[in-house]
Structure 1
Amino acid sequence: MTKFLLAVHVLAAIIAVGPVTVAASMFPPGARRALAAPDDPRALETVRLLHRICRVYAGIGIAVPLFGIATATSMGVMGDAWLIVSMALTVAAAIVLVVLVLPRQETVIEGAANGADRATTVQLAMFTGVFNLLWATVTVLMIVRPGSTTGA
């Protein structure tokens, strides 16, 4: 059962978190193009699509920590420091996405028609980078598992 849970956890991470990180990273440059060409409906549609991908896959991404907790419980590693740090970083990444990235994406989409400023996209790019860095750190911790006795 542990191998099944681990496989589902990893697949959920790839399928859910991967698209969010890519779409969120593509959003700021796409938003800058949309702001630079307000009469180009295709540029605005692109950022709307990227935002929709971020929202939908963020919701699907809830499966990642759920299967992660089930896997960790099955493996008996819930109290390991690497897992606790990974869980804390996962919560931090979720907060960054929900509180800092998604609302700013919405602001840019609404402001594209009203002439939003470039500073918002720069700030959004920074928060997206923080989100991606948090996920990259979680990924490394999941692979390396420092101090783990599970054979890594």
Structure 2
Amino acid sequence: MTKLLLSLHVLASILAVGPITVAASMFPRYAKPPAPGSEGPHDHDTRTAAFLHKICRAYALVGIAVPVLGLATGAQMGVLGDAWLLASIVLTTIAAALLMAMVLPGQRELLVEGAGAGSGSGTEAGAGDGSGGGTLTVAERRSAAARLAMTTGIFNLLWATVVVLMIVRPGSTTGA
């Protein structure tokens, strides 16, 4: 049973968290408007940004399976009190809170603002949720996209740390 739970936990991690980390990392690039007066090609594309946000939202729901299966696996293995697992639980909780409180709302705000500014299709932006009440200047939107990129980087770093803890398992007889 332990091998089945561990396999499901690892698969859920790869299939749920992986797409979130990639889509969330790509989002700011497509949501950030070009600088005023800039020439040449740019990546601003509200439809692509809306699609990436949709991926993040959908996989965040699926991602709930990762800690659930992780806790079941830890209980089965009898390691729920181990420091490496407790640290992983704390980091996972912080990453989930960051995703729900900053990354997804930040994406939604940029999409609503982008739709309000007439810069593309905002039909998938979650309009009608009350966010984005004011209008941001291009400079403010570029700054918000940069902050979102930094927040997403922290989110991804937290997950990378959890993966390392899961592999190394400090103090474990099977760890490094």
Q: Is the structural similarity TM-score above 0.5?
A: yes
Q: Secondary structure at the match of 2:146?
A: helix
Q: Give yes or no for the alignment of 1:28 onto 2:28.
A: yes
Q: Secondary structure at the match of 1:21?
A: helix
State the match for 2:17 in structure 1: 17
Counterpart of 2:64 in structure 1: which amino acid?
I
Q: Alpha-carbon deviations, 1:110-136, whole Å to 9, x = none?
A: 111334421110110011001000000
Q: Secondary structure at the match of 1:96?
A: helix
Cα RMSD (Å): 1.4
Q: Report which stretch shifted further, 109-118 or 54-63.
A: 109-118
State the match for 1:82 in structure 2: 84
Q: Secondary structure at the match of 2:76?
A: helix
Q: Alpha-carbon deviations, 1:40-88, whole Å to 9, x = none?
A: xx91110000000000000100000000001001111000000000000
Counterpart of 2:4 in structure 1: which amino acid?
F
Q: Which runs of structure 1 show a deviation greater than 2 angstroms over 4 or more consecutive aligned residues?
A: 113-116
Q: What pairs up with 1:69-108 in 2 under 5 angstroms?
A: 69-108=71-110
State the match for 1:131 in structure 2: 155
How many residues align? The count is: 145
TM-score (normalizing by structure 1): 0.92
Counterpart of 2:85 in structure 1: which amino acid?
L
Query: Residues of 1 paired with 2:113 and 2:150: CA distance?
Result: 19
Query: Residues of 2 paired with 1:53 and 1:114: CA distance?
Result: 22
Query: Residues of 2 paired with 1:136 and 1:5: CA distance?
Result: 21
Counterpart of 2:149 in structure 1: which amino acid?
A
Query: Residues of 1 paired with 2:83 and 2:167: CA distance?
Result: 14
State the match for 1:67 in structure 2: 69
Q: Secondary structure at the match of 2:28?
A: helix
> Shift in Å at residue 36 of structure 1?
2.9
Query: Residues of 2 paired with 1:136 and 1:54: CA distance?
Result: 17
In percent, how many aligned pairs have the same letter? Answer: 57
Higher relative helix content: 1
Counterpart of 1:36 in structure 2: which amino acid?
P
State the match for 1:2 in structure 2: 2
Q: Secondary structure at the match of 1:7?
A: helix
